[in-house]
Amino acid sequence: MSFSTMKIGNVEVRTNGSSDYSPEYIAQRMVERVIHVSDTAPPAIRDQALAFKDQIYALILSSAKEIIKADRERIARELDKSSMAEAAMVVRMMEK
């Protein structure tokens, strides 16, 4: 995922080039808010912290995708109950 960042003082503005947010974008933003690795940390500690940050990103991303999948299935079931099988099929076919 590609996004643009502009920082002015302590304020950071980030855009992703579209109006929707992918699970990757959300996971990256969450990790950045929770884990900060100092540029001045000793190399061994910095490397370990960056590896941990990558593991947390993967965990959050996997969880976000599972949540989305479960919610789409819930929506599709509700559409099926409401005799909207075609809409339910569209929801089930969505991949993101």
Going by pLDDT thresholds of 50, 70 and 90, the confidence category of residue 3 is low
Mean pLDDT value across residues 29-50: 95
Instruction: List, in sequence order, every residue forming a beta bridge with 14; answer none if it has no partner.
Output: 5
Is the distance from CB of 55 to CB of 47 less than 8 angstroms?
Answer: no
pLDDT at 12: 72
Question: What's the pLDDT score for residue 16?
Answer: 65
Domain ranges of the chain: 22-93
> What is the Cα–Cα distance from 29 to 50, expressed in whole angstroms?
15
